[in-house]
Amino acid sequence: MKEYRFVDHWYIKAPIEVVYNHVADPRTYATWWPSYDSVRVLKDVPYPHVGGQVELIVKSPFGYRLRLEVETAEADPPTYLKTISRGQLAGTGIWKFSQEGDMTHAEWTWIVRSDHPVLNRLEWIAKPIFALSHVLASGKGHRGLKQLLETSQEAVPAS
């Protein structure tokens, strides 16, 4: 299937370190990103998690599920994170974080292709569905992390 390039911009009223730590640690996804049905740690490594691997089951708003393995390839906390995915979604995810006043701007560039046999056979119809599915799943992640961090004490800097 054709390669896709998605660029998302998340703005969250929380310190950059807090936002980064949640995005960099997929073990937290179940608490804020409802598109992930399952997160299973395959290789646990200490912070900043470079070399760590997880298996993710992503649930589409259209009923299909995709299985992928994600490895943290590079990290420069709290401003940069690069992941490599394999499986039914193969590609690269790059997160760039910046503090803008009391907001953290997280830019997520997801360059990916499907290795899902059904989606690939139906590429002519699957392309717009896959793109919309990404928009909806990313939106759920953005809203979930905003809700978690903007309404919790975790996002309040220590004084």
Average pLDDT over residues 120-136: 80
Q: Where are the domains of the chain?
A: 4-153
Task: State pTM to two decimals.
Answer: 0.89
For residue range 12-64, what is the model confidence (pLDDT) as tens digits? Answer: 999 999 999 999 999 999 899 999 989 999 999 999 999 999 999 999 888 88
Task: Report the half-sphere exposure of 51 (CA within 13 A, side-chain side).
Answer: 4
Give the integer Cα–Cα distance in Å for 84 and 150. Answer: 29
Distance CA 96, CA 48 (A): 15
CB atoms within 10 A of CB 147: 12
Class of residue 10 by CB neighbours under 10 A (exposed 0-12, middle 13-18, buried 19+): buried
**Residue 11 contacts residue 103 (beta carbons within 8 Å):** yes
Both structure tokens of 140: 């759920």
Q: Does domain 4-153 have CATH number 3.30.530.20?
A: yes
Output 156 or 124, whichever has higher pLDDT.
124
